[in-house]
Chains A and B, each alone.
Chain A
Amino acid sequence: MIYYKVTLRVQNEAGVLARITTLLRKYQINIQSLDVAPIDGEEKFSDIHMLIQPPRAQVEIVMQKLQKLIPVISVLYKEHS
C-alpha cells in the first residue's frame, strides 16, 4: 500500500479540518497520521501534515478536490514509502 504525505496550508479557522475530512471520508481514505499547527508568525494560517492512503488512481482527483476547498490555500503531496 502506498502512502502519500500531504501538506495543506489552510486558513486558521473553526471547521477547516471537518471540511477536509468530510472530503477524505467521501473517498473512503484512511488517515494514518495527522498534525496541525499554526505557522510561525502568521496566526491566520496553519499547516496540516497528514499521511494518507488513497488508491493511486484517485490521488490526483482528491488533491484537486482538496485544493478546491475555500479555506485551503495550497496542497503539496508526494509518495511516501
Chain B
Amino acid sequence: MTNSPSKLGSDLFCEALADAGVELMFGIPGGVVLPLYDKINKYGHHIRHILPRNEQGGGFAADGYARATGKTGVALGTSGPGATNLMTAITNSYMDSIPVVYITGQVGEDFIGTDAFQETDVIGMSMPVVKHSYLITKAEDIPRIVREAFYLANSGRPGPVHIDIVKDVWFHEISGKLDDTMDLPGYSPLPEVCSDSEIEKLNKLLEKPDCKPVIFAGHGIEISKAQKELQLFAEKHNIPVISTLLGLGSFPQGHELWAGMIGMHGDAVANYMAQDANLLIGIGCRWDDRITGKLESFIQDTTFVHIEIDASEINKIVPTELPLLGDAKEVLGRANKILTEHKFPEWNSQMSELKEKYGFLDFTINPENDTPKLSQARLLKMLSDTTDGQAIVASDVGRHQMWTGRFYRFAHANSHLSSGGLGTMGYGMSAAMGASLGSPDREVWTITGDGGFKMNIQELGTLAEYKIPVKIAIMEDNALGMVRQWQTLLFKGNHSHSEFSNPDFVMLAKSYGIPGARAKTYEEAQAAIDEARNTDGPFLIVFEVDPDEHVYPMVPPATALGDQALCDADLLKDDTNKYNEDDLLQGHT
C-alpha cells in the first residue's frame, strides 16, 4: 500500500482496515482509543461504525455478521473493562471457528507494567482462545499486522485474531511507504492435503460387507462452501446425512437422505442412525461430546473417516482409520470424481422405517408438546412455515436453541447462527443484529429464552437507534428453562435458583421505541409473527410458553446415543429406569 508523506498512526490504522475490506465494525470508545475515534468518521465511506451498548454485544454482533456473510467481523473495545467485556465474545468465536478481528486499546507504552488506570494484560487473557494475537507498539507495523490478522482470521480453519494497540501508536507520525508484506513463516492455511490414493481407500471401506455408512456434516461444510459437493457425494453413494447443530442448512432438509440433527437434543432418527452405523464419515466436524454421547458406545465397532482441514482434530476424540486432510470442498470435489458409486438399499430402508416410527421432524410425537401454554416446538414450526425457511435465525442458548435447530427448516447455509461450542447465553439478539447489518436483504429473527435475552437486553437500544430490522421472539417461561428441565428430570424436581420474574418485555421494547406484541394463543402467535414481518424495523414478540414442555430426545449425561430418552416417562419412571443415577448426576454435563 502507498502512504503519502507524514501520516498519523490513527489514519494508518483506519486505512489498513479499509484495505482489508472492512465495511462494518462494532466498538465502544474510551480513553486510549479516543484518537482513533477522532478519525474514524473520516473513513465512514468505507467503514460503517456501529455503537453497541456493551462490548460483549458488539463482539457477538461481529461474530453473527461473520457467520451470516462469511466475511471477517470486527469488534473493538477500549483498554481494561472494554477489552475484558470482549473476552466472552472472543472465546465464542474461537470455539466455533468464526473469523473475527478483535481490536483493543492498550495504555501508553510507558505505562505498561505500572498497573496504570485500565491497564490489563489482555493479550495474556485471550491467549488460549485466539488463533493469534498481536500487540502493536509501532505505527510502522500497522499495515503488515492488520493484513496478517485478517488473513489469519479467515483462511484455513478460521478463528478470532486479537490486536491490542498501545495508545502512543495513534500519534506516531510516519512518512513514506510502509511495507505490508506478510511475514508468517510458521503458517500455512492448508498444511497437509490428502492424496487421491488416500481418497480411493474410501471405496474399499464402502464396499465392506454389511457396510452401514453415515455422513456427519459439520460446520466445515458451510465454512468451505461445500454444500453442492456434499449433496453430490451423498447422492452418489446413497449415504444418509446427519447434521451437527452448526452444520444445519448445509444439506437440504427435505432430502430423502437427510436423517436430521444429531446430539444430546438431536432428532431421534439421527441419534439411532449414528448408533447403528458402522462407518462414520465426518466432514468438517470435531466430534464434540454433545454429539457423541457416551464415547465408548459411540466408537465401538465403528470405523471412522474424517475429512478435516485441521490436522490436530484427527484422532483427538475418535480413533480414525482414514483421515482425509484438506478443505472440505476440495476433498469432496475430488472424491466425487474418483470414487465409484454405491448403494445401500437395506440401510436406507432402515432409515425410512426409523423416520416412520419416530415421526421424523414431527413434534407431535412428543406428548409433552401438548401443553396448556404455548409449545415452543409448535411455535418454531409455525415460524418456519410462515417464513418458508428463508430467514436467518439466530438463537440464544437453552431449550429454545434446541427447538430452533430441530424445527426451523433452514433453506440456506449461513442462516443458522448458534453459539455451539461455548453455549453462550446472551448471544442471540446481538448476533442477529450483526447478521442483519451484513445481510440487509434477508429476513432476520432471533429466538431467545427469557434468561439469555436479559443477559444482553441492552442491545435493544442499538437495534432501535440504527433501526436494525431484527424480529425478536422471546420464549417466556419465567425460568432458566434448560436448567430447570435438568433439575426436574435429574435432580428430583429441586428447582434451585432457576425460576424468576420478568419485566413486561413489550412495554420495555416500547420505551426503546420498538413495537411489540404478546401471544398467549396460537392465533395470537400467528398474528404477532405476521405483524412483525409486516413492520419495518425491529419488532419484539413475547410468547408465553410452558415451562414444563421438555425438550426431547434427551441423551442424558454418560449415556449412549441409542439410549436417548424420548419422553418424561423414560427418565422418571423408577421401575423401568434404564439409566444409572450416579452416571446421570456425575457424568459430564
Contact = CB atoms under 8 A, between A and B. Distances in A.
B131 A70 contact: yes
A67 to B, nearest CB: 7
A67 B312 contact: yes
B186 A19 contact: no
Contact of B186 (A14, A60, A61, A73): A73
B152 A65 contact: no
Interface string A8-19: 001100110011
B127 A69 contact: no
Given A11-B185, A70-B131, A18 B124 contact: yes
Contact of A69 (B123, B186, B311, B315): B186
A71 B135 CA distance: 14
Interface size, A (range): 20 to 34
Contacts of A61: 312, 315-316
A61 B314 CA distance: 8
A9 to B, nearest CB: 8
Interface in B112-155: 123-124, 127-128, 131-132, 135, 152
Contact of A64 (B124, B132, B186, B312): B312
A7 B585 CA distance: 43
Interface string A53-75: 00000001100110111111110
A68 B128 contact: no
A70 B311 contact: no
A73 B312 CA distance: 16
Contacts of B316: 61
Interface string B185-212: 1110001000000000000000000000
A26 B312 CA distance: 15
Given A61-B316, A67-B312, A70-B152, A19 B187 contact: no
A14 B136 CA distance: 12
A74 B186 CA distance: 7
Nearest to B191: A67
Interface in B158-189: 184-187
A26 B129 CA distance: 11
A11 B186 CA distance: 8
Given A60-B315, A61-B315, A64-B311, A70 B184 contact: yes
B312 A19 contact: no
A22 interface: yes
Contacts of A71: 186
Contacts of A10: 186
Interface centre among B152, B184, B186, B311, by most chain A C-beta atoms within 10 angstroms, is B186
A69 B311 CA distance: 13
Contacts of A22: 127-128
A26 to B, nearest CB: 6
A23 interface: yes
Nearest to B123: A15
A44 to B, nearest CB: 8
B127 A70 contact: no
Contacts of A65: 312
Contacts of A68: 310, 312
Given A61-B315, A67-B312, A23 B187 contact: no
Contact of A72 (B124, B128, B152, B186): B186
A76 to B, nearest CB: 14
A54 to B, nearest CB: 14
A53 to B, nearest CB: 20
A64 B89 CA distance: 25
Nearest to A68: B312
Contacts of B311: 64, 67
Contacts of B123: 15
Contacts of B312: 61, 64-65, 67-68
A67 B191 CA distance: 10
A70 B187 contact: yes
Contacts of A67: 191, 311-312
Contacts of B128: 22-23, 26
7 contacts: A10-B186, A19-B127, A22-B128, A26-B128, A61-B316, A64-B312, A70-B132
Given A19-B127, A70-B187, A72-B186, 8 more contacts: A15-B123, A26-B128, A61-B312, A64-B311, A67-B191, A68-B312, A70-B131, A73-B185
In the complex, the 5 A-B pairs of residues with the closest C-beta atoms, listed nearest first: A64-B312, A70-B132, A73-B186, A22-B127, A65-B312
Interface of B: 123-124, 127-128, 131-132, 135, 152, 184-187, 191, 310-312, 314-316
